[in-house]
Structure 1
Amino acid sequence: MHRNASRRRRAQEETCVYRVLRRASQAAAVLCLWGAHPVLAGTPEPAPVAPPIVSEDLRSSGEAGPTLAWMQFCDQHPRECSIDSSEPDTIPLTDGTWSSLQEVNKHVNRTIAAVPDQDHWGVVDRWDYPDDGLGDCEDMQLLKRKLLVERGLPQRAMRMTVVIDELGAGHAVLRVRTDLGDLILDNKRDAVLPWQQTGYVYVKGEGAEGKAWVWFGDRIAPTATAAK
């Protein structure tokens, strides 16, 4: 009990910056969520028809504590948080895999209505499946991973990742590790992009070994650097 309580306190402390950003930018995050919904945002940008050329993996820089909301999600869905070390930790980016990534990303973005956790659940941060057709960024990414696993892709290669978005708000994306580099599935766009092209600051995410999360050292995508 004492060890579990310590883990939760550590996770809460390590995600302090993330939570403060969510609270401080709540209005901006709500606007961003709704701006990403296809009914309100107009016609989304067309997705690339060919797999992108990815030049670099998103490398971690040490172990990190998971978000408290992730730990609570794992308490409810333990199988979704376990790692099968026999699975590959990268996916060959074949034409079929590329099509699946695009189809699932677009499908979830266009069928789940974006609603912030406070309005949906009455709490600041909760990670769960959007079974009622409502959810925010992390809920949509969790559903995308579940659907991709059902298509035969290894869960070990698809990692939930916390970033800081273009508005300075905490945001969650699904990072897919391929043999050509890391790709990002995002509820803000239908296009599946290499991580360098998202403009986000990468904070931390699931690792590929056990349940431990990893730091990315606030890795800044080159497009974000160029915009400053």
Structure 2
Amino acid sequence: MARRPRPPEPFDTELAHLPPELRWREWMGRVEAVIFAAPAPVTREVLARVVGRDCSIDLLIDDIRAELRGRPYELVAVAGGWQHRTKKGFAEAIQVATGLGTNDPKPLSKSEQLVLLAIAYFQPITRGELGQFFGKEISRDTIGHLRGLDFIAAGPRSPVPGAPYTYVTTKGFLSFFGFDTLRDLPDMEALEDAGLLSKERLLAGDFPALGGDGIGDEGEPLDPEEVFGE
């Protein structure tokens, strides 16, 4: 009679047989390995599957970050999780060596940046409301481009006649701009002081023209970080 295969041993998260220091080092290794292998930011809930019930993930992350100081990559909090990212100072070296980044989408134009900025701060918002802000209709092409980049998505329908869809930012937006949550967006007052955004003027439909079309010059693309900052 054939012997039945043994069931796999349950994954040991507690590591009670190890002394505290070795247990902590093993948890650190597990957490860093999971984050390193994942193609997207890893949430706290996922990391909790590989460590003990009483383990502080925040303290583990702090210790991993401390060990990475001086390395060309770092562990960042982004889009509700953590991700390994190379430091910006090494971007050119990576591009020269591997070609990575040479085919990245071109930077957003001024008008696209401003539309994205308005959606980020005033979401959920309809295309009609965006048009009121900027004094002209926002093209479906602009909305489609931002959706294609996974910066925005359809939100709940607006409670106005016709129930148009609203637009909201996505996790892809948070990840691209390096935000953990929307609470990390630059302070509205700081943007006003920099002359980049005025909530009162936007809501009044009085937005300063930045180009020939009233909402930006399509011929002069900008790096999105010039609007959202680092």
- Give the TM-score range, shorter chain: under 0.3
Higher strand fraction (1 or 2): 1
Quick one: higher RCO (CA 8 Å, sep 6+), 1 or 2? Answer: 1
Q: Structure 2-normalised TM-score?
A: 0.22
Larger Rg, first or second structure (1 or 2)? 2
Q: Structure 1-normalised TM-score?
A: 0.22
